[in-house]
Chains A and B, each alone.
Chain A
Amino acid sequence: NAGVTQTPKFQVLKTGQSMTLQCAQDMNHEYMSWYRQDPGMGLRLIHYSVGAGITDQGEVPNGYNVSRSTTEDFPLRLLSAAPSQTSVYFCASRLQGYNEQFFGPGTRLTVL
């Protein structure tokens, strides 16, 4: 199993550009989530999904969209990037009913 994979590893955007961060898992996990990591703030939940077709907001959802058309994939879209979205983004997944989450390697995003 590849576990949780994320692409790209690094990305530089200009303010106002859009992009999609990709996340995939091959463990048949129902629950998937996106976090952003900023210095001194730990990881903050952006959006999460409990299954295909079901998504919900976390604590910092503004500026981000998600969709979940398959169990395996959970892309995160930035429609109009802002410098405040400069961060490291982590995707995670777990089985529904279990608490152990598996994390991807992260995407380091810089918005100029």
Chain B
Amino acid sequence: AQSVTQLGSHVSVSEGALVLLRCNYSSSVPPYLFWYVQYPNQGLQLLLKYTSAATLVKGINGFEAEFKKSETSFHLTKPSAHMSDAAEYFCAVSPQSGSRLTFGEGTQLTVNP
């Protein structure tokens, strides 16, 4: 069984500041890990994914995430926040050979001018 915990349901940053959204996972097998973004009144879009290749994964819109097995973490970062980054972000985990995607509770990111 796998699970995901996102630390902080709401994160607020200033425009230009570092964005850090935390995700810890639990998985009985080496996981596939994902970050999705949901803009208001829209569906989810894939930001980036880890599939056992490079541990530092770069995604769209300047986001990146680092897989740390020792910490069972997959935190999402962006060096400089933009107003357009305001959205809800979901971390998700999937077993290597399975079909189910398990989502975290989501983190609402607010970017202040």
Contacts and interface: CB of A to CB of B under 8 A. Distances in A.
A43 B99 contact: no
A42 B49 contact: no
B105 A101 contact: no
Interface in B40-75: 41-46, 49, 51
B45 A48 contact: no
A99 B34 contact: yes
B43 A43 contact: no
Contacts of B105: 40-42
A58 interface: yes
A42 B104 CA distance: 6
B25 interface: no
Contacts of A90: 43-44
Interface in A1-52: 4, 31, 33, 35, 40-45, 48, 50
Contact of B43 (A48, A50, A103): A103
Given A43-B90, A90-B43, A90-B44, A50 B99 contact: yes
Interface residues of B, number: 23
B42 A99 contact: no
A112 B49 CA distance: 39
Contact of A100 (B9, B46, B99): B46
Given A40-B9, A42-B90, A43-B90, A99 B43 contact: no
A104 B41 CA distance: 11
Interface of A: 4, 31, 33, 35, 40-45, 48, 50, 58, 90, 92, 96, 99-101, 103-106
Given A40-B106, A45-B102, 16 more contacts: A33-B101, A40-B9, A40-B105, A41-B105, A42-B4, A42-B90, A43-B103, A48-B99, A50-B99, A92-B44, A99-B34, A100-B34, A100-B46, A101-B101, A103-B44, A105-B42
